[in-house]
Amino acid sequence: MSGTRKILLLGNGFDLAHFLPTKYDHFMHVMRNVENYDKDTPMTFQELYTDLISNESYFFENTINFYKTEDVTLPLEEVKELQDKLDKNGWFQYFKSYIDSGIDTWIDFENEMEVVLSALCYIISEIEKNVEYLRHFPTESLSLSPKIFNKDVKRKYPFINNLLKKFSITDKHSIHADTHMIFNKAFVKYYSGQPVDICSSSLLKHLEEDLMGFIEIFSEYIAFIDKLELKNILKNPEIFEKDLDAIYSFNYSSTIERLYGHSNINFIHGKAGKDSNKKIVLGISELQNQILIDNKAYGFVKYYQKLVNNTDYQFLRPKSSIIEIENKMKISSLTKYHPIEIYIWGHSLDSSDNDYIHEIFSFNQGKKTSVRVIIYYYSKPHAQLSNLIDILDKDIIETWMKNKWLEFVETPDIRKLNVNGNYIDKSISEFSKTVLKPEETRNIGFS
């Protein structure tokens, strides 16, 4: 056995590797099925996932084979509560229009949210330039003149109508009803009975509140997934054969606890469930538009949500086992020993989490390198490698790969591991074979 220390980072791909339907697309399809449900009985697993079971047959065949799906239902009372929440939630009403249109992952969702906010900021800025874009209607509401739209905003405007459903009224008598939105007075500033400006703070505050509502709905969904019980005990992937020094999860589920018994997990973006003391985090990386900054619309931003929700926003620095080991390395004369391997399972390494990626690759700056990064990939590593180059620059990635500090390893196949007796899990890094055995590290204080 090797003398390496191991840290595991989990993304949504970890849940998907275990055939748990936690993908954004899964969530949206299920919520649409809930919204359209009209029976007076609890929803079964088959009713919740009816279209997905046929469209993603391989995935859901394994879900049904691995878990007691027949024991899981959504009580009618919860169905009704969800239907009410979904009907009132602008973000759900917006994104359900985009089902089956290319927004497949939570990264896509967050990127699209940023696009929507940019479109709204454009509308706000145009109204600020020319209040005549706001037009009176007999309903005592206001519509926007079609002249306000540029090409991109016009394309999204019908969906923005859905986003602002709670505070907008569609003009059903207009021949342009599909591209026409009427603003409620709550979003408009008046002087002597005449509209003089849009109330951007009220509009953005409403959208922040709706986002919190959307997050609560998603949290309930993940809590539902956490109720799926295994039919049989799973075999350990090789990475779990020895104790891990630390586990950092970008997921909201309890999968690694439930399926493998691991505890002491750092939930970086919060944890799902009504009883969790760390609400989940979902949003954009940074406020880029000046209108959002001026209105202090930080509720859309993940780092703000982490501070408010008290999630584990501290990552590898300044206090972690890596820092402790780095300090010990400075006083050690050993050159062959490398103490920490960071395994990344199921994370896309997209720019939405660039702060964490920069932190991971901020190590190995001294004479003695202390970190190796092993990234699990499906079929090909190209997407994750491209994302790393985009965030860090190719020179950094080239340096890490030339020095064998960065390695791509195929993801453990959970189905084959548990069904195919001939399958050999080769998901442990090649680095582990070149380091000292545990007993050889005792004289320098490593355990």
State the sign of the Cα–Cα–Cα–Cα dihedral 404, 408, 413, 414: positive
The full DSSP string for 413-447 is -HHHHHH-TT-----S-GGGGGS--GGGGGGGT--
Crossing angle of helices 151-163/106-129, nearest 10°? Answer: 110
Which amino acid belongs to residue 280? I
Tokens 């109508």 locate to 161
Q: Which residue has the higher pLDDT, 222 or 203?
A: 222
Token digits for 256? 């690694």
Distance in angstroms (rounded) separating the CA atoms of residues 312 and 244: 18
Q: Which residue has the higher pLDDT, 34 or 190?
A: 34
Crossing angle of helices 394-402/382-392, nearest 10°? Answer: 120
Quote the pLDDT of residue 276: 60
CB atoms within 10 A of CB 96: 17
Give the single-character DSSP code of 342.
E
Q: Which residue has the higher pLDDT, 84 or 139?
A: 84
- Mean pLDDT along residues 51-70: 96
For the purposes of burial, counting CB atoms within 10 Å of the CB of 170, is it exposed (0-12), middle (13-18) or buried (19 or more)? middle
Whether 31 and 217 have beta carbons less than 8 Å apart is answered as yes
Q: Among 19-23, 100-104, 121-125, where is mean pLDDT lowest? A: 100-104
pLDDT digits (tens, 9 = 90+) for 415-447: 999 999 899 888 887 766 565 454 444 443 333
pLDDT digits (tens, 9 = 90+) for 245-266: 889 999 999 999 999 998 888 8
Band of residue 172 on the pLDDT scale cut at 50, 70, 90: very low
Quote the pLDDT of residue 157: 61
List phi, psi (to 5°) of 345: -120, 110
Band of residue 339 on the pLDDT scale cut at 50, 70, 90: low
Distance in angstroms (rounded) separating the CA atoms of residues 38 and 142: 35
Quote the pLDDT of residue 139: 46
State the sign of the Cα–Cα–Cα–Cα dihedral 421, 426, 428, 432: positive
% of the chain surpassing 70 pLDDT: 75
pLDDT digits (tens, 9 = 90+) for 286-300: 898 999 999 999 999
For the purposes of burial, counting CB atoms within 10 Å of the CB of 45, is it exposed (0-12), middle (13-18) or buried (19 or more)? buried
- The length of the chain, given as a count of residues: 447
Q: Which residue has the higher pLDDT, 393 or 3?
A: 393
Max avg pLDDT among 66-80, 344-358, 370-384: 66-80
Distance in angstroms (rounded) separating the CA atoms of residues 373 and 344: 8
Quote the pLDDT of residue 134: 67
Band of residue 170 on the pLDDT scale cut at 50, 70, 90: very low
Which amino acid belongs to residue 223? A
DSSP-derived 3-state class of residue 136:
strand
Record the pTM. 0.85
- Mean pLDDT along residues 199-210: 90
Q: What is the mean pLDDT of the chain?
A: 81
Quote the pLDDT of residue 179: 44
- Mean pLDDT along residues 303-317: 75
Q: Among 42-51, 64-73, 260-269, 403-412, where is mean pLDDT lowest? A: 260-269
